[in-house]
């Protein structure tokens, strides 16, 4: 149980840091908090609500991992290295894919609710 408490404390420290210093995470957290009441209003079912809000949480998850990759790369070297550029670009691609997923889930749900 002690390990779980320590892991939770570490996680909250990371969340606090990201929420205070990372613009992308700030925007995505705002999007998440806005998505909760909007999803509750438009979701035709509990599962749809989970998909709508879960897709935004997934985006935040990928952004957190991308930020971790960038921090690790910067800790290794601030000089240009092709391998570090590839690692950072892959993290950015993961964020882009998750943004596309969020857009697809939300657009599909909105279309289904208002036009189907």
Contact 3, 12 (CB under 8 A): no
Rounded to an integer, what distance in angstroms lies between the CA atom of residue 30 and that of residue 28?
A: 5
Q: How many residues does the chain have?
A: 116
Q: Is 102 exposed, middle or buried (CB count within 10 Å of its CB: 0-12, 13-18, 19+)? A: buried
Q: How many domains does the chain have?
A: 1
Report pLDDT for 75. 97
Is 42 part of any domain?
yes
Which residues in the chain land under pLDDT 70? Answer: none
Is 51 part of any domain?
yes
Report pLDDT for 116. 81
Query: Is 83 annotated as ligand-binding?
Result: no
Is 85 part of any domain?
yes
Residues taking part in catalysis: 63
Dihedral of the alpha carbons of 88, 17, 98, 29, in degrees to the nearest 10:
-150
Contact 89, 35 (CB under 8 A): no
**Boundaries of domain holding 75:** 23-115
- pTM beyond 0.85: the answer is yes
Is 99 part of any domain?
yes
Query: Is 109 annotated as ligand-binding?
Result: yes
Query: Is 104 annotated as ligand-binding?
Result: no
CATH of the domain at 35: 1.10.287.3610
Q: Which residue has tokens 């935004």?
A: 56
Is 11 part of any domain?
no
Report pLDDT for 51. 98
């Amino acid at each position: 149980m002690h390990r779980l408490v320590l892991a939770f404390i570490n996680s909250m420290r990371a969340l606090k840091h990201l929420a205070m210093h990372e613009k992308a995470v700030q925007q995505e957290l705002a999007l998440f908090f806005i998505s909760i009441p909007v999803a509750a209003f438009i979701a035709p079912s509990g599962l749809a609500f989970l998909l709508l809000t879960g897709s935004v949480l997934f985006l935040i998850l990928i952004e957190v991992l991308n930020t971790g990759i960038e921090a690790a790369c910067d800790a290794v070297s601030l000089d240009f290295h092709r391998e570090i550029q590839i690692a950072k670009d892959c993290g950015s691609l993961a964020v882009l894919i998750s943004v596309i997923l969020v857009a697809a889930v939300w657009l599909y749900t909105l279309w289904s609710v208002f036009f189907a």
